[in-house]
A and B are shown apart, each in its own frame.
Chain A
Amino acid sequence: MGEILVLVDHAGGRIRKPALELLTLARRLGTPAAVVLGAGESAAAIAATAGEYGAAKVYVADASEFADYLVVPKVDALAQIAQAASPAAVLVTSTGEGKEVAARLALRMGSGLITDAVDVAPGDAGPVAAQSVFAASYTVTSTVTRGIPVITVKPNATGSEAAPAAGQVEQVTVAFSEAAAGTRVVSRTPRASSGRPELTDAEIVVSGGRGVAGPGGFSVVEELADALDAAVGASRAAVDAGWYPHTNQVGQTGKQVSPQLYIANGISGAIQHRAGMQTSKTIVAVNKDPEAPIFDLVDYGLVGDLFEVLPQLTAEVKARKA
């Protein structure tokens, strides 16, 4: 079986959970080989973790270009590594940047591209990717018919399991293209941590919408989230109103989440919101309007005022956990 190149997503010197999922998934398709770009001093630790999760080889490249310029330096590095390694497939995490890197890489290599896979399985003619499309109303399976398949995979598409492998580090010196310096990253402000689980990684997500009525209102949502050890999500209406940061938006133009449990509070359930949460395992909604479309999706729906229901629920959860 061939090598499966996995571009390792990392931030703040740490490997991100979706990278562990990709390595786990890559083991089904072949021998995982991790690619760690621009990790500086953290590269060794990240490479070691990649090894623990099944990377037989870890290609490490470091250069200021990775931080100073947008997207293209990573494409240059991956193209160079892929050229030498002739992998059976390349896997990248489906983030805004990940998809752009994957797309340019595919075009350069003369390869077909599949984005936003929710599953990838081995097939007779290469990997078979499943996508959940049209706001999760269809499942589409597809293959790449030309070149080395380049596939981006959504966070939480699969679990992550350790499976120690050699993790042999190979240092790579990248010859950057002229295009690499095209778009300068003048400054970068890392997102402040809320101390809560990452939205896309979380087992439980508690969300608030327009029904939360004001920034102060989100405290009832946050208190429930903390009692459940959950991430906090928000509808676009709540984000547009300035009640909660955009990084927490769930939906078509926010994050797409697929937790074990999603609790929607004061959210009507518009198609664009559903596009971001419809694949959640268990869905609960609290809404005072019995006709709200969100109730079509739920495993458990509570018709009521969230300002009455949530504090009671939070207290009860805390009592049961104590």
Chain B
Amino acid sequence: MTLRIVVCVKYVPVATGDRRFADDKTTDRESVDGLLSELDEYAVEQALRIAEASGDAAVTALTVAPDDAQDALRKALSMGVDQAVHVNDDDIHGTDAIGTSLILAKAIEQTGFDLVVCGMASTDGTMGVLPALLAERLGVPQATLLSEIAIEGDTVTGRRDGDAATEQLRAVLPAVVSVTDRSGEPRYPTFKGIMAAKKKKMRSLDLDDLGLDAAEVGLSGAWTKVEAVATRPPRTVGTIVKDEGEGGRQLATFLAEQKFV
């Protein structure tokens, strides 16, 4: 039977760009360039490796995001993903993590899945909670933060490098996994891949299609509220000294003045 893999990818503002907040205190996703989260490229890579190893698999890339995210999905398709699903609805604007997990879970259920592959965290929200939330909502095991992953039959195994220990995990499919940036370098899209991606199916869904009500999501449906955003005062420029042979000792004097020595 075909192994159905859904890989969740987020469209995020470029980290080296001028990331900021819009007037309604949500992340500005319009005037800042976006891309497929670099950490989700690792998820795409592992989904593709698992699909290749299985010989009979279908990989769907899924995102919840505004219009511009088409490019991110296109990138996943050109890496080798078979098809894409784009959940896009103006009412989703401002959704928090709990709400996002509701939308993603509905879309995953509708797509059909044996394995959901996520990145370890987004590069903008950086919460690292969506995979756990999806497992809770879908009622399947979570094998998350894996730096090594393998599927054998209906079992997923992997290595999780935790804070205090390294753990070997095992769970039975269907399951949700997330993979770290140590799981294996993502491939670059080939020219052939880029051409093939143009012909691949990209499905667009709105809240209606998922049977969701606008009141359950978006800024008004959120269970958290951003009260204020403030730019951090830039660090005051310090002393820059060129080493002329005494640099180490000069630095020691600075550290002593600051009472670190």
Contacts and interface: CB of A to CB of B under 8 A. Distances in A.
Given A185-B169, A191-B166, A313 B251 contact: yes
A104 B132 contact: yes
Interface string A54-93: 0000000000000000111001000000000000000000
25 contacts: A70-B160, A71-B142, A99-B132, A104-B132, A104-B135, A108-B136, A115-B127, A134-B20, A137-B231, A138-B20, A143-B225, A143-B227, A144-B224, A179-B141, A182-B140, A185-B167, A246-B161, A253-B180, A284-B254, A297-B235, A299-B236, A299-B239, A301-B238, A301-B239, A308-B247
A128 interface: yes
B169 A303 contact: no
Contact of B243 (A128, A187, A304, A314): A304
Interface in A208-249: 228, 246-247
Interface residues of B, number: 83
Interface string A97-121: 1011111101110111111100000
B188 interface: no
Interface residues of B, dominant DSSP: mixed
B228 A140 contact: yes
Nearest to A311: B248
Interface stretch (B55-63, B76-84, B96-104): B96-104
Contact of B136 (A104, A135, A286): A104
Given A128-B227, A139-B229, A188 B166 contact: yes
B255 A301 contact: no
Interface residue tally of chain A, by bracket? 35 or more
Contacts of A187: 167-168
B123 to A, nearest CB: 7
Contact of A142 (B160, B171, B227, B255): B227
A106 B120 CA distance: 19
A29 interface: no
Contacts of B15: 135, 271-272
Interface in B232-261: 232, 235-243, 245-252, 254-256, 258, 260-261
Given A253-B180, A290-B240, A309-B251, A104 B133 contact: yes
Interface string A128-151: 100011111111111111110000
B105 to A, nearest CB: 10
Closest 4 CB pairs of A and B: A312-B248, A304-B243, A112-B223, A182-B141
A246 to B, nearest CB: 6
B181 interface: yes
Contacts of B250: 302
Interface in B89-110: 96-98, 101
B240 A190 contact: no
B2 interface: no
Contacts of B1: none
A189 interface: yes
A305 interface: yes
A115, A147, A298: residue with the most chain B Cβ atoms closer than 10 Å: A115
Interface in B132-148: 132-133, 135-137, 139-145
Nearest to B128: A99
Interface string B23-65: 0010000000000000100000000000000000000000000
Contact of B165 (A145, A190, A313): A190
B204 to A, nearest CB: 27
A97 B163 CA distance: 8
Contacts of B228: 140-141
A137 B224 contact: no
B128 A96 contact: yes
B259 to A, nearest CB: 9
B185 to A, nearest CB: 10
A5 interface: no
Nearest to B243: A304
A139 B128 CA distance: 19
B170 interface: yes
A307 to B, nearest CB: 11
Contacts of A308: 243, 245, 247-248
Contact of B241 (A183, A301, A320, A321): A301
B224 A143 contact: yes
A183 B165 contact: no
Given A97-B162, A107-B137, A186-B169, A300 B243 contact: no
A94 to B, nearest CB: 9
Given A304-B243, A313-B249, A317-B252, A191 B164 contact: yes
A48 interface: no
B243 A309 contact: yes
A191 B175 CA distance: 27
B19 A182 contact: no
Contacts of B19: 134, 137
B21, B145, B163, B231: residue with the most chain A Cβ atoms closer than 10 Å: B163
A321 B200 CA distance: 67
B182 interface: yes
Nearest to A224: B248
